[in-house]
A and B are shown apart, each in its own frame.
Chain A
Amino acid sequence: MLILTCPYCGVAADETELTPGGEAHLTRETVGADDAAFEGYLFKRENPKGVHFERWRHAYGCGKWFHAARCTVTLEVFGTYPAQTTEPPKDIRDKITAKRPGWSWRDFG
């Protein structure tokens, strides 16, 4: 059972306090998008062995959505940050680079 720290209220929350929201930093495709782009938005997801960015909600706490950067193999958590961003913040990316040189995830890395 993971522990993730909510970047809003600062609580180190047990997984049972959180609800998962799947992959982070998806771009919403809508009217005007071609079939491939829309399919990608709806269904195509990363399933990495290693660095991953996820959405979580502090559902049984402050109710806020946030992002977590973590390693799916070692369960190391590189950091959590508010959901109001379209890409991982630099300090988190730097931290991952220090721990996992040469990492990449989608277009980031």
Chain B
Amino acid sequence: MSTRLARDGRFLNKSKAIKFTFNGKQLRGFEGDTLASALLANGQTLVGRSFKYHRPRGVVASGAEEPNALVNLGAEGRFEPNARATTTEVFEGLKAASQNHWPSLDFDVGAINARLARFLPAGFYYKMFIHPRPFWKYIYEPFIRQSAGLGKAPKARDADTYDHFYAHVDILIIGGGVAGLAAALTAGKSGARVLVIEQTAHWGGRAPVDGGTIDGLDPDEWVKKTLQALEKMKNIILGARMMGTGIYDHGYVLGYERLTDHTPDQDGPRHRLWRIRAKQIVTATGAIERPLSFAGNDVPGVMLASAIRDYVVNYAVSPGDRTVIVTNNDDAYRTALALKDAGLEVPAVVDARPEGGGALMQQVKDRGVRVLTGKGIAGVSGGKQVQGVKICAQAGEGAVLEEIPCDAVAMSGGWSPVVHLWSHCGGKLLWDQEKAHFHPDIGRAPTGADGEPFVIPAGAANGSMSLANVLAGGVAAGQMAVERAGLKPKRIATPEGDSVTEAPMQPVWMMPQGAGVKLRNKMWLDYQNDVKVSDVQLAAQEGFESVEHTKRYTTLGMATDQGKLSNINGLAVLSNALNADIPQVGTTTFRPPYTPISMGAIAGEARAELFQPIRKTPIHEWHDDNGAYWEPVGHWRRPYCYPRDGESHADAVNREVTNTRENLGLLDASTLGKIVVKGPDAGEFLDMLYTNMISTLKPGRCRYGLMCSENGFLIDDGVVARIDDDTFLCHTTTGGADRIHAHMEEWLQTEWWDWKVWTVNLTEQYAQIAVVGPNARKVLEKLGGMDVSKDTLPFMAWADGQIGGIDVRVYRISFSGELSYEIAVRAGQGRALWDALVEAGQEFGVMPYGTEALHVMRAEKGFIMIGDETDGTVIPQDLGLHWAISKKKDDYLGKRAHERSHMVDPDRWQLVGLETIDGSVIPDGAYAVAGGTNENGQRNVQGRVTSTYYSPTLKRGIAMGLVHNGPDRMGERLEFPKIDGTSVFAKIVDPVFYDKEGAKQDV
């Protein structure tokens, strides 16, 4: 069983005890512990259950590569699932709970899956869940949902704050191990602006644990000295607890800084996302040890050899009293020495290499440890805790030679450089046969805007595996970065690393080499997703030759650890099964983030009110004060209706419609887009943009126009007013102003750049108020200032003047079918005019109306609405708008498209009105069914509803819809099935329900 050692740990402050809980149990750790080290110190080797088979799992690693020790952290607003215990620093009061088990961690019902393992082979989702289809809803989906995902989703709003930070540097160094520090020292001395980031709380990386000397000093001493030197340099920023998340185009990097995860009571943001631009980037990201594939390699107590060394040296934690070491390389012998130094027993080192190792092996032998060469492990006894290992010949099939009792196993399958960041932006890899790993191909680095490389790997991340090479590589990378950043490098003496020379490793992809299917079934590659050697072999056998396909089929490397431990081992197994070389099979793609980052950090401060700025009209506050129920329209907020005491929204809308039709309504139309198009060629330009003829419009007059894309589809509509010979004012839809302005600019700048036309988006410069209803003229005449009579200002005319002493421009346009004046004023006068209209309108029954009343009234009139009647596939001809398409023009945007065969097809659905037989309202988006079924067994359809409302004017449900041959089928009944299984029936009618002659608006 794991326990705390009496000795000191490098990272521990043993004078400061910390209390925390795991699954509700009070436990104690020390300042400096990670949650993983503290759990091990408390004998908690079982930390979770695996994803598919719910197998008991313990801590495997000591860093970011940990696949098993994922926990739910905290509660409510500070709840976080899938937190890695190995990278979580403990603090007073920390609450952690294990994941993926029911009812408890120790007794788990889902573990029965393990006994069903032969029914859950690779690709079982694809194989099992295809047929029969009806099983999906009630059997497959609930099963998958229950077993999908390890942690729970948080339910409460995140209580923490987050921010973003921008940094521009000459050189970014990712990784604060000795290679990164050597690079930083070199770059710093040259005067470059340098940012050095390290994902853990500690500088120096592995070197202080792995031993050797630097410039004759203990590595810890050298790190301390170097840090002091770096801290003195003003051109260097050191950032601990900050991970290089991803490297992107042109030297863009995301850094993820965890500021208060370890001190949650501290003020300030919890995480900070650094958005960094660097001229050069040094990736000194180290290497990750690989597990060995032997049967039972997932039993709690089996750990990476380097991790065991870390727990002993850094955290004073013993993984067990008796640890057997199994390896294919010399490095793992360092773990034997560390364990012996801590007074722990090492019953044996099992070395798969027939000749064993070099000097390190000799040192271990000299300490009296038994070394078995050419041997492997044929099995691990124990369920929730290692109890012993079975020894076999590595070259054989697994015949057990002896059994060694132990409570921990330290395994090492060699080291893989962390090439993730190098690869994110296109850096290529080379396979090193001798070290059995991929390392960066320096000749094929990621390139920047100038076509030159901008990433330089250093240290173990570059495949250097000795201290001397790591340090030399760090200095060289620093120098190269300075030169490439266009600065002058200063020579510094390369720190001299001295470490024991290691004998060559020997690749071991399966242990023993000739293991039968029974053993292969228990060899785990991907601990988190429960992928075994046998699964990858099965995938290969079933024809999955591409590594990317095998990954998806078996789910190898697709868990939250993204296969940091499993990718190379899985790749090797696949290569063997395919009889191909490893580099030929290749790796899967490395994608950011390196490890998962918080959603909060991604959002930064863009949440709640700051998520998106709200656009407010000059009359916004009046609406708010008068009970407006708001509706978001683009970035705008518009009143949907103004409910009075006891009124439902529907009641309010009906009242507003009726009052506007009978008395007087006011609408804040300020959000309408207003674009001025000016210049000698403005008329010609607008003739190209609108389907109508605009250039013939007389100054002082308005015309309703349609705009199409080059595909012929409707993109916007609105009223154009001609101000003078070369000035037009184009109204757009509320959501369309920016888009249509950009559309105009695009054509002017990129196609007709010799035309003399200027455009300005004046939307926010003016407030616009629609004064609507039979009493509209009366209220304006009462306020006085200009002649608004029919003779002087007829329908579809506009005039400048004054109303109530305020300068206005009045348009006689109507979207409601009533007598209507749309009055534009300078934004600063908008509220004054509104107030004046409300006051003067009292005697005429004035009421404000909102967007829903606007919609109901336009639907009663059969006016289309962009986004309701159109959806990006509708042409004007579908909507009976032929009258708005000029036959005289040679060309306009969309004209050629309107001639395409599908556009002139008589079978296109066309606009009609729909009147329900029983007076009810057809559900939004309902389809009209036709006879028979399509090839998917669904009922054929012959039309759909585009707008549907209760009309208080007609006192019945009305709708508009697109129907096959609709205009030729007046009076026919259509059936619209509803979600509840019943149907509503409607008669095809003319889309204009109200005042078909248009008499009311033209008075």
Contact = CB atoms under 8 A, between A and B. Distances in A.
B451 A84 contact: no
Interface in A35-56: 35, 38, 41-42, 55
The interface residues of chain B, by DSSP majority, are classed as: loop
Contacts of A42: 710-711, 897
Given A31-B896, A33-B896, A63-B745, A2 B451 contact: no
Nearest to A64: B749
Interface in A1-37: 1-3, 15, 21, 28-33, 35
Contact of B250 (A1, A30, A55, A59): A1
B95 interface: no
B448 A75 contact: yes
A59 to B, nearest CB: 7
Interface residues of A, number: 30
B447 A84 contact: no
A71 interface: yes
A38 B252 contact: no
Interface residues of B, number: 29
A29 B896 contact: yes
B644 interface: no
B890 interface: yes
B749 A30 contact: no
A5 to B, nearest CB: 9
B746 A65 contact: yes
B492 interface: no
Contacts of B450: 76-77
Contact of A84 (B745, B749, B899): B749
Contact of B896 (A2, A30, A76, A77): A30
B451 A28 contact: no
B271 interface: no
A1 B248 contact: yes
B449 A75 contact: yes
Given A29-B896, A30-B891, A42-B897, A75 B750 contact: no
A76 B450 CA distance: 5
Nearest to A75: B249
The interface residues of chain A, by DSSP majority, are classed as: loop
Interface in B732-784: 742, 745-746, 749-751, 753
Nearest to A33: B896
Nearest to B454: A75
Interface string B354-388: 00000000000000000000000000000000000
A38 B447 CA distance: 38
B751 A28 contact: yes
A99 interface: yes
Contacts of A2: 249-250, 449
Contact of B900 (A35, A57, A59, A63): A35
Contacts of B710: 28, 41-42
Interface string A76-100: 1100000110000000000000010
B258 to A, nearest CB: 23
B895 interface: yes
B250 A75 contact: yes
Instruction: Name the residue among B249, B449, B895, B900 with the largest chain A CB count within 10 angstroms.
Output: B449
Interface of A: 1-3, 15, 21, 28-33, 35, 38, 41-42, 55, 57, 59, 63-65, 71, 73-77, 83-84, 99
Smallest CB-CB A-B distances: 7 pairs: A76-B451, A84-B753, A1-B252, A74-B447, A65-B749, A77-B449, A83-B750
25 contacts: A3-B250, A3-B277, A21-B746, A28-B710, A28-B751, A29-B896, A30-B891, A31-B890, A31-B896, A33-B896, A35-B900, A38-B900, A42-B710, A55-B750, A57-B742, A63-B745, A65-B749, A71-B451, A74-B451, A75-B250, A75-B425, A76-B449, A77-B449, A84-B749, A84-B753
Given A29-B896, A65-B746, A76-B450, 15 more contacts: A2-B250, A3-B449, A30-B896, A31-B890, A31-B895, A31-B899, A38-B896, A57-B742, A65-B749, A71-B451, A74-B447, A75-B426, A75-B449, A76-B448, A76-B449
